[in-house]
Amino acid sequence: MRNEKGSLIRPVPLPDSASRPVVTPLSTSVVYASDTPDMLDQQYEGGLQGYTYSREGHPNADVVGGLIDRMEGAPNPGVVTSSGMAAVAAVLMGITQTGDHVIGGNQLYGRSLRLMAEDLPRMGVSTSMVDPGDVDAVRAAIRPTTKLILVETVSNPTLRVADIEGLATLCREKGVLLVVDNTFTTPRAFKPFDWGADIVIHSITKLLAGHSDVMLGYVAARDEAINTRLRIFSVTTGMTPSPWDSWMAERGMLSFDLRFDRAQATAMRLAEHLGGLEGVKRVIYPSRDDHPDQARAQALLKGQFCNMVSFELDGGRAEANAFTRGAEGLNFAPTLGDVGTTISHPASSSHRALTPEKRTELGMSEGFFRVSVGLEDPDTLCAVFSQAIAACKV
Ligand SMILES: *Cc1c(COP(=O)(O)O)cnc(C)c1O
Whether 53 is a known active-site residue: answer: no
Ligand 1 centroid, distance to 282 Cα (angstroms): 26
Say which of 32, 55, 134, 269 is annotated catalytic.
55
Confidence grade of residue 2 (pLDDT, cut at 50, 70, 90): very low
Confidence grade of residue 303 (pLDDT, cut at 50, 70, 90): confident
Ligand 1 centroid, distance to 191 Cα (angstroms): 18
What's the mean per-residue pLDDT of the chain? 94
Angle at 260 between CA 167 and CA 278, to 5 degrees: 90
- pLDDT at residue 370, as a whole number: 96
Domain enclosing residue 108, as ranges: 57-253
CATH of the domain at 140: 3.40.640.10
Q: Please give the average per-residue pLDDT across 304-328, as a whole number.
A: 94
Whether 264 maps to a domain, the answer reads yes
For residues 379 and 122, give the distance between their C-alpha atoms in angstroms, rounded to a whole number.
51
Question: What atom of ligand 1 comes closest to residue 215's alpha carbon?
Answer: 7
Percent of the chain predicted with pLDDT > 90 = 87
Confidence grade of residue 1 (pLDDT, cut at 50, 70, 90): very low
Question: What atom of ligand 1 comes closest to residue 184's alpha carbon?
Answer: 13
CATH of the domain at 362: 3.90.1150.10
pLDDT by residue (tens digit) across 166-214? 999 999 999 999 999 999 999 999 999 999 999 999 999 999 999 999 9
Confidence grade of residue 394 (pLDDT, cut at 50, 70, 90): low
Angle at 63 between CA 60 and CA 66, to 5 degrees: 150
Whether 42 maps to a domain, the answer reads no
CA 308 from chain centre, in angstroms, equals 13
Question: What atom of ligand 1 comes closest to residue 156's alpha carbon?
Answer: 13
Q: Please give the average per-residue pLDDT across 280-299, as a whole number.
A: 95
Q: Does position 3 have pLDDT exceeding 70, yes or no?
A: no
Domain count of the chain?
2
For residues 209 and 216, give the distance between their C-alpha atoms in angstroms, rounded to a whole number.
9
Say which of 62, 69, 100, 109 is annotated catalytic.
109
Whether 181 is a known active-site residue: answer: yes
344 and 246 fall within a common domain = no
Confidence grade of residue 350 (pLDDT, cut at 50, 70, 90): confident
Q: Please give the average per-residue pLDDT across 252-272, as a whole number.
A: 97
Whether 314 is a known active-site residue: answer: no
325 and 313 fall within a common domain = yes
Q: Does position 358 have pLDDT exceeding 90, yes or no?
A: no
79 and 217 fall within a common domain = yes
Q: Please give the average per-residue pLDDT across 67-81, as a whole number.
A: 98
182 and 164 fall within a common domain = yes
For residues 358 and 129, give the distance between their C-alpha atoms in angstroms, rounded to a whole number.
15
More confident residue, 334 or 285: 285
pLDDT by residue (tens digit) across 196-209? 999 999 999 999 99
199 and 289 fall within a common domain = no
Angle at 375 between CA 213 and CA 250, to 5 degrees: 40
Q: Please give the average per-residue pLDDT across 105-120, as a whole number.
A: 94
- pLDDT at residue 351, as a whole number: 87
Name all residues whose Cβ lies below 6 A of ligand 1. Answer: 83-85, 88, 109, 112, 152, 181, 183-184, 203, 205-206, 215, 217
pLDDT by residue (tens digit) across 13-34? 778 899 999 999 999 999 999 8
Percent of the chain predicted with pLDDT > 70 = 98
Confidence grade of residue 328 (pLDDT, cut at 50, 70, 90): very high
In contact, 95 and 143? CB cutoff 8 Å: no
Which one of 150, 182, 200, 205 would you pick to mutate in the ligand 1 pocket, going by the greatest count of ligand atoms within 8 A of its CB?
Answer: 205
Whether 45 maps to a domain, the answer reads no
- Mind giving me the DSSP string for 202-221? EETTTTTT-SSS---EEEEE
- pLDDT at residue 13, as a whole number: 72
- Mind giving me the DSSP string for 326-343? H-TT-EE-S----SS-EE
Ligand 1 centroid, distance to 239 Cα (angstroms): 15
- Mind giving me the DSSP string for 272-287? HHHHTSTTEEEEE-TT
Whether 47 maps to a domain, the answer reads no
What separation in angstroms does the CA of 47 have from each of 38, 40, 42, 53, 130?
11, 10, 5, 17, 46
Whether 206 is a known active-site residue: answer: yes
Helix ranges, the chain (H): 37-45, 59-72, 84-94, 110-114, 120-122, 135-141, 164-174, 186-189, 224-236, 243-253, 256-275, 294-301, 317-326, 356-361, 378-390
